[in-house]
Structure 1
Amino acid sequence: MEKLQVQFLGGSGTVTGSKFYLNSEEIKILVDCGVFQGTKELRKQNWEPLPIQVDEVDFVLLTHGHLDHCGYLPLLVKQGFKGNILGTAPTLEIAKIILEDSAKIHEEEAERANAEGYSKHDPALPLYTQDDVVRTLKFFKSIEEGETVMLSPNCTACFKYNGHIIGSTYIEMIFHGKVLVFSGDVGREEDHLLHPPKRPQWADYLFVESTYGDKDHPDEDVEGIIQDLVDQTIRERGTLIIPSFAVERLQSLMYLLWKLYDKNKIPNIPIFVDSPMGINVLEVFERHPDWHKLDPREYKNMCNHVTLVSSYRETWETIDDPRPKIVIAGSGMVTGGRVLTYIKQLAEKKSTTILLVGFQAEETRGRKLLEGATELKMYGKYIPIRAKVAHLESLSAHAGQSELLSWMEDIKNVPEKVFLVHGEKETMAIYKDKIHEKYRWNCHIPDLYETVEIPI
């Protein structure tokens, strides 16, 4: 009997680093290939080679283009991967943007660390370089949403629309008649920009994300909260800084702010979008209109309503602009990117507000701000935080607990096993109980690097 082993190389007991290795005599597949983010112990593992024969991997299947699902790809190639990296066209475009940006940040941070001498390593090295990314892109191969791809004589894969971000899918794999479903990150039922996720109909083995498995998103008055923050920013002649994920969240924020202005709910306050990556993602929206709800007129009006910042010179001009203003800049968890420059320069002012939108992983600067940090370490120095901190949870691109449970309710069979991944341990324990309560399904929470055997 053919045996299939699944090893959890990431996204297990943590929200980041998703990598699921399927190993059989017939075929070897990685579903997602993300980097770890958050705690130092997790991030250190990005520097370690994978405990598998990388040169034997036939395919990488990408559910979507976020860094915690694709960011390890250049390292995989450096370790000898020479197969195909499959994803939808928007996913591969997003992955390209994110990998290029990530490599540039790694190179800049290594250069800065060496110049200022704050790294423990001599010399400090980037995790990977822009040249590594160029080599990685050669393995990209796009597939259509809903298309069944033959990976081997007894293995097919189908990528199905999943909301969350543009291009995102869940993956339905059939191996020797067994259906394995990898949820990727499940999107929201109601989203400003995206259509509702499709739902799986059958799953012998289900690998499902658990980011918000312990709770639903609050029923927030998002427009009212943003309106109040804008009014406060104008009144105090300050700056509203919104750290944002460059993919989806940034575009959603642009849309929300434009709609508020269009409905005369906020005045024409200057809005600066300082995220070269986010600007590139806007172009992906323009190229793939079938993947989102925006019509061309809305897209054009939304883009015209903001000032797009591309160069560092413009970043400093924005910081020095004395007018009350809104700045949307990456990254969403304040782990890197242009937003660090704004926080470093403006967070000492009481007239500054930092609005966090969405999930903040453990030990990220975003989580520390939420927990009331009075200083943040940036570039080897501690920056005092006197800015006000606000939080919007309901803008998350991840399904909440009820939405996750609903996403599974069209599955007609009883899965042989459900694996809970992409979540923090306490969250997954609650989610496991909820799934058992509603469906009576057999759930398992795998440990990092655990291997399970699936009989085929």
Structure 2
Amino acid sequence: MNKIKIHFLGAAGTVTGSKFYLETPEQNILVDCGMFQGLKELREINWQPLPIDVSKVDCVLLTHGHLDHTGYLPRLVKEGFHGEIIGTSPTLAITAIILRDSAKIHMEEAERANEEAYSKHRPAIPYYTLEEAEKTLGMFKHAEKDEWLFLSENIRFRFRYNGHIIGATFIELELFGKLFVFSGDVGRREDPLLYSPDRPEWADYLFLESTYGNKLHPEEKVGDILSSLIAKTINEGGNLIIPSFAVERLQTLMYLLWTLYKENKIPNIPIFIDSPMGNNVLSVFEAYPQWHKLSLKEYRAMCDHFNIITSYGDTWKTIDNPRPKVVIAGSGMVTGGRVLTYLKQLVDRDATTVLLVGYQAEGTRGRQLLEGAHEIKLFGKYIPVKAEIHHLESLSAHADQGELLHWLKEVKNIPENTFLIHGEPSALDAFRVKIKDSLGWKVQVPHLQEVLELTI
């Protein structure tokens, strides 16, 4: 008999901070290594050392490259990790882009906080530096999808295609003959750019994301909504600002807007892409065409249609440009990035429209705007919100409840336990009841820092 200890170090009872640590007799494995985002009490956990001996972690397996699945990696290295960080090639390419970008933002924010003295920390220090991020990238090891790889005599794993973002996978981890399945973030069945997710056929222990465990995405006519908002922007001589995640959401928006233009459903309004990270992600789409639906010819024609901003100086030129325009800028939940500069200058104008796309976590500015906040805090100052706020939920890269249940339907056995992760409490509880009632499975909702011991 073998004892396995599972530490729920993140994404337990909340959506972000994905970290699941498995102590086994042969290998100690960390599945994902993300940062907490959103509520202040969660973000503060990012600054605390992990409650494990990090030097004993043998490897990290990454489901995909998003910050809430990879953003803690440089801190892990700082705390003494010296093993391998394993992911698919596009996942590691995305992770490298995100960690470098994140490090630059942390360094810039610390510098600005020190100059303007709005941080309570004296001096403010970056969460990690570019040098620390680069050291982390040196530990990357690429793995092919669908290929079983052994970590030790009785432990092997493989990555399987999962939609969501380019490179994303779910992980099948076999420990001493038992199959542990980590869903990562499950993608949509009808994604404009990505293929439908593969589905697991067996799971002894299942770790299942529940971001939309209590919801079905609305049937929205996305093209009509975008066309209508662009017409309004032109008529009012204003700005349509779309905060967007740099990975996947940005490329999806570009594809939808380019298609609308080709079909003469929108005029040739200037559309600015202001996301240095997003520009780098576009190169990943070019490098890994087998991971998405676009041909190289379509991809290049699409990119040529947009005004892609590369310098911060051009950000200000775009803001000062009086013409009606569309600006797509990071970040998707308005937690950082170039979109903050646009909102600081333009969110207090009646002719501005802000279109939020996808999930807005608790404690983020995106959620505040969604819930009708009359002001938001940007760079230490409160700015009145006079812009009109809209929300497109159907562009989410996460499967909804129906799609998650469909994802489970290929599982031929009844798992010994299903752990619901990556969800806010209301979503977790609703999904727990749904799975129990519809499938009859044993379902558990672990809490943050919970440690479970299994004998297998």
Please list, as runs of the form range in 1=range in 2, the aligned pairs for 1:343-358 lying within 5 A after superposition: 343-358=343-358
Please list, as runs of the form range in 1=range in 2, the aligned pairs for 1:249-260 lying within 5 A after superposition: 249-260=249-260
TM-score, structure 2 as length reference: 1.00
**In the alignment, does 2:195 pair up with 1:195?**
yes
Please list, as runs of the form range in 1=range in 2, the aligned pairs for 1:95-134 lying within 5 A after superposition: 95-134=95-134
Q: Point out the more displaced range, 377-386 or 59-68.
A: 377-386
Please list, as runs of the form range in 1=range in 2, the aligned pairs for 1:121-200 lying within 5 A after superposition: 121-200=121-200
Please list, as runs of the form range in 1=range in 2, the aligned pairs for 1:372-451 lying within 5 A after superposition: 372-451=372-451
Deviations 1:155-212 (A, max 9, x none): 0010000000000000001010000000000000000000000000000000000000
Please list, as runs of the form range in 1=range in 2, the aligned pairs for 1:35-50 lying within 5 A after superposition: 35-50=35-50
Opposite residue 209 of structure 2, the aligned amino acid is E
CA distance in 2, matches of 1:366, 1:332: 8
Deviant stretches of 4+, over 4 Å: none
Q: Which runs of 5+ in 2 are unaligned?
A: none
CA distance in 2, matches of 1:45, 1:337: 22
CA distance in 2, matches of 1:454, 1:101: 39
Q: Which runs of 5+ in 1 are unaligned?
A: none
Backbone CA RMSD of aligned residues: 0.5
What secondary structure is seen at the aligned counterpart in 2 of 1:245?
coil
Paired positions, count: 456
What secondary structure is seen at the aligned counterpart in 2 of 1:14?
coil
Residue 223 of structure 1 and its aligned partner are, at CA, apart by 0.6
Deviations 1:57-89 (A, max 9, x none): 001000000000000000000000000000000
Look up the match of 1:208.
208
CA distance in 1, matches of 2:297, 2:138: 35
Residue 322 of structure 1 and its aligned partner are, at CA, apart by 1.0
CA distance in 2, matches of 1:355, 1:379: 21
Residue 437 of structure 1 and its aligned partner are, at CA, apart by 1.4
CA distance in 2, matches of 1:194, 1:165: 8
Look up the match of 2:24.
24
Opposite residue 235 of structure 2, the aligned amino acid is R
Deviations 1:256-306 (A, max 9, x none): 000000000000000000000000000000000000000112101110110
Deviations 1:344-369 (A, max 9, x none): 00111100000000000001000000
Opposite residue 344 of structure 1, the aligned amino acid is K
CA distance in 2, matches of 1:350, 1:368: 18
Residue 429 of structure 1 and its aligned partner are, at CA, apart by 0.2
**In the alignment, does 2:296 pair up with 1:311?**
no
Deviations 1:1-50 (A, max 9, x none): 21001010000011000000000221100000000000110000000000
What secondary structure is seen at the aligned counterpart in 2 of 1:317?
helix
Opposite residue 159 of structure 2, the aligned amino acid is F
Opposite residue 154 of structure 1, the aligned amino acid is N
Opposite residue 160 of structure 2, the aligned amino acid is K
Residue 147 of structure 1 and its aligned partner are, at CA, apart by 1.0
Opposite residue 445 of structure 2, the aligned amino acid is I
CA distance in 1, matches of 2:308, 2:431: 40
CA distance in 2, matches of 1:297, 1:261: 17
Opposite residue 423 of structure 1, the aligned amino acid is G
Look up the match of 1:11.
11
CA distance in 2, matches of 1:405, 1:192: 21
Deviations 1:85-134 (A, max 9, x none): 00000000000000000010001010000000110110011111101101
Look up the match of 1:90.
90
CA distance in 2, matches of 1:71, 1:170: 18
Opposite residue 368 of structure 2, the aligned amino acid is K
Opposite residue 55 of structure 1, the aligned amino acid is S
What secondary structure is seen at the aligned counterpart in 2 of 1:44?
helix
Look up the match of 1:299.
299
Opposite residue 306 of structure 1, the aligned amino acid is F
What secondary structure is seen at the aligned counterpart in 2 of 1:240?
strand
Look up the match of 1:341.
341
